[in-house]
């Protein structure tokens, strides 16, 4: 079914066969994926009632849905900056040490853009590797989705990546801004375009350069972030081969105060004066602040919402945790928690002892990953994590870890992956997918 938060079948699915989505009412909105000039058609309940009053049934519409289309992941790639910054390197800039950082976050090093390197170049490199693995020519791309919160142009970087790839047919390209959840939202968008829009090949890129928005004098945040890019190719297929089983997506704008990089006016900007005729005009040139994070609140949010979201996605897919081959979570390191506190996962409680340092509590996402794995009964050897090597790379973290796992031979065609992203917005979500 197509519902507010994702795709699911009308009955529990097998891992070898799925049925195509159908219409389902779910809350205030429903979406039906129909072929109308290759666009997705969405209606509110009020709109459906108007059709009913006119004697027109949605189920009786003569417009044929793309009910026989599925989508699958057929290629992946990643790219990293050349400059590697170790914990020892950071200790020369802030009061810290390798032991201090690694025991409290799990991070030992990260990559940072430098010199003439740029985010577009990094994204393009990752995309080329994904296309090569998928055996898809750039001119066969129908859509480029650039999931990033740090574009190199205010109006977006996706068209620049499209140009760098050498796409001559001018396929649609646009950015998706959702920070650490961006890549998951890109997967959902790709699925919608394939299933409801008739697209054949969609390139989904997760790329961020958070190093440009980090206060490198603040050890509370500078130790956590790195730069990277990852990409996947989502390709149309027959419904029985569909490998994107279900999504569960949410947002809560009230949580934005806990994690943000807000736009603020530059008080030193005096380039344009005022004659006093209009108060507050012309406006001062704004700039983005460094990343601000309330680690305790982000931690509480993550440990509460992530397992609930994964379980919801599994339920929609008609699967159990025992069907999961790999657990892949966003690789995030946060400040948070409480001494000898409990991590509450819905109705279940997982006890965890966290470390205390000075006036702060520091808990890396590795602890969240371990706790979620315990809740879902996924063995530690089936948890994909590269946090130690790259830190939090935002929208790039999931495709980066996926690409490494595929190329190393860990993830094989047919393996089922439960993946979840969470971060600024606040936004969070999960997806149950099958590789290949």
- Residue 431 and residue 398: Cα distance in Å, rounded? 11
CATH classification for the domain delimited by 71-254+292-434, as one of 3.40.50.1100, 3.40.50.150, 3.30.450.20, 3.40.47.10 = 3.40.47.10
Whether the upstream peptide bond of residue 314 has omega within 30° of 0, thus cis, is no
Distance between CA 155 and CA 148 in Å, rounded?
A: 12
Q: Which of 31, 330, 361, 365 is catalytic?
A: 330
Task: Kindly indicate the confidence band of residue 269, based on its pLDDT and cuts at 50, 70 and 90.
Answer: low
User: Is-contact 132 141, C-beta < 8 A?
Assistant: no
What residues does each domain of the chain span?
Answer: 29-66, 71-254+292-434
294 membership: H or E segment, kind and range: none
Q: Which of 404, 426, 405 is nearest to 415 (CA)?
A: 405
Average pLDDT over residues 23-32: 34
Binned at pLDDT 50, 70 and 90, residue 368 comes out as low
For 55, list phi and psi in degrees, rounded to 5: 85, 20
Q: What is the rounded CA–CA span in Å between residue 14 and residue 376?
A: 19
- Residue 126 φ then ψ, to 5°: -65, -40
Mean pLDDT of the chain: 77
* Pairing assessment for the beta strands 201-209 and 227-238 based on DSSP bridges: antiparallel
Contacts of 56 (CB under 8 A, 6+ apart): none
Active site residue 258: no
pLDDT score of 22: 34
Give the DSSP letter of residue 278.
S
**Cis bond upstream, residue 192 (ω within 30):** no
- Which tens digits make up the pLDDT trace of 380-394? 889 998 889 999 899
pLDDT at 342: 35
**How far apart (Å, rounded) are the C-alpha atoms in residues 22 and 33?**
8
Indicate the SS3 state at residue 236.
strand
CB neighbourhood size of 172 (10 A):
16
Token output for 191: 């699925």
- Determine if residue 345 is left, alpha or beta; phi over 0 gives left, psi from -120 to 50 gives alpha, anything else beta: beta
Our CA angle for 117, 120, 124, nearest 5°, is: 105
Contact 143, 203 (CB under 8 A): yes
Closest CA to 83 of 217, 180, 209: 209
Assess whether the previous peptide bond of 23 is cis (omega < 30° from 0): no
CA separation, residue 56 to residues 21, 26, 64, 266 (Å): 22, 21, 15, 56
Query: CA-to-CA distance for 209 and 169, rounded, in angstroms?
Result: 29
- Asked if residue 291 lies in contact with residue 359, where contact means CB atoms within 8 angstroms, the answer is no
* Separation between Cα atoms, residue 166 and residue 203, nearest integer Å: 14
pLDDT digits (tens, 9 = 90+) for 105-143: 889 999 999 999 999 999 999 999 999 999 999 999 999
- Are the beta carbons of 54 and 216 closer than 8 angstroms? no
Specify the range with the lowest mean pLDDT, choosing from 93-97, 273-277, 287-291, 408-412: 273-277
Whether 193 is a known active-site residue: answer no
147, 180, 192, 305: the catalytic one is 180
Rounded percentage of the chain residues whose pLDDT exceeds 90 = 48
What band does 301 get if pLDDT is binned at 50, 70 and 90? confident
* 387 CB-contact burial (10 Å; exposed 0-12 / middle 13-18 / buried 19+): buried
* pLDDT for 18 beyond 60: no
Strands 416-423 and 326-329: parallel
- The token pair at 56 is 């027109």
Read off the pTM.
0.77
> How far is it, in rounded angstroms, from Cα 361 to Cα 257?
19
Q: Give me the mean pLDDT over the 324-337 stretch.
A: 70
Q: Is 392 a catalytic residue?
A: yes
What are the residues facing 333 on neighbouring strands?
364
The answer for residues whose C-beta is within 8 angstroms of residue 342's C-beta and 6 or more apart is 349, 350, 351, 352
Q: Is residue 73 over pLDDT 90?
A: yes
Produce one character per residue of 338-348: b if its CB has 16 or more CB atoms within 10 Å, e if not.
eeebebebeee
* Residue from 346, 343, 395 nearest 369 by CA: 343
Which of 192, 260, 392, 415 does the annotation list as catalytic? Answer: 392
In terms of C-beta density within 10 A (0-12 exposed, 13-18 middle, 19 or more buried), how is residue 112 classed?
buried
Distance separating the N- and C-terminal Cα atoms of the chain: 22
How confident is the model over 151-190, as pLDDT tens digits? 998 889 999 999 999 999 999 999 999 888 899 999 999 9
């Amino acid at each position: 079914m197509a519902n507010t938060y994702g795709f699911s079948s009308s009955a529990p699915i097998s891992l070898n066969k799925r049925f195509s989505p159908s219409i389902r009412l779910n809350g205030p909105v429903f979406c039906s994926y129909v072929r109308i000039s290759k666009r997705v058609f969405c209606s509110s309940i009020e709109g459906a009632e108007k059709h009913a009053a006119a004697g027109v049934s949605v189920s009786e519409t003569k417009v044929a849905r793309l009910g026989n289309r599925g989508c699958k992941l057929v290629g992946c790639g990643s790219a990293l900056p050349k400059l590697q910054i170790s914990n020892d390197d950071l200790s020369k800039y802030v009061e810290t040490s390798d032991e201090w950082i690694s025991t409290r976050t799990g991070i030992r090093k990260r990559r940072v853009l430098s010199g003439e390197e740029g985010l577009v170049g990094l994204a393009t490199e990752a995309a080329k590797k994904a296309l090569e693995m998928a055996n898809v020519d750039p001119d066969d791309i129908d859509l480029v989705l650039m999931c990033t919160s740090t574009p190199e142009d205010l109006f977006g970087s996706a068209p620049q990546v499209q140009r760098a790839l050498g796409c001559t047919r001018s396929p649609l390209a646009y950015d998706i801004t959702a920070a650490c959840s961006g890549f998951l939202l890109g997967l959902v968008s790709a699925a919608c375009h394939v299933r409801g829009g008739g697209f054949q090949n969609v390139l989904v890129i997760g790329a961020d350069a958070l190093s440009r928005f980090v206060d490198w004098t603040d050890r509370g945040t500078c130790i956590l972030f790195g730069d990277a890019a990852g990409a996947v190719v989502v390709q149309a297929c027959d419904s029985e081969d569909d490998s994107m089983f279900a999504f569960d997506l949410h947002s809560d704008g009230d949580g934005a105060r806990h994690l943000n990089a807000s736009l603020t006016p530059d008080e030193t900007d005096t380039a344009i004066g005022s004659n006093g005729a209009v108060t507050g005009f012309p406006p001062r040139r704004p700039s983005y602040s460094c990343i601000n994070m309330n680690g305790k609140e982000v931690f509480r949010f993550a440990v509460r919402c992530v397992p609930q979201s994964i379980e919801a996605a599994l339920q929609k897919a008609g699967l159990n945790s025992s069907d999961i081959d790999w657990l892949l979570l966003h690789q995030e390191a946060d400040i948070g928690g409480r001494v000898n506190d409990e991590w509450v996962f819905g109705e279940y409680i997982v006890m965890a002892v966290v470390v205390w340092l000075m006036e702060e509590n520091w808990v890396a996402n590795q602890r969240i990953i371990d706790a979620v794995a315990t809740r879902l009964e996924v063995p530690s050897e089936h948890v994909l994590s590269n946090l130690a090597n790259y830190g939090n790379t935002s929208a790039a973290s999931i495709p980066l870890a996926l690409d490494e796992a595929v190329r190393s031979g860990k993830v094989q065609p047919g393996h089922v992956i439960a993946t979840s992203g969470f971060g600024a917005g606040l936004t969070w979500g999960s997806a149950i997918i099958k590789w290949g």
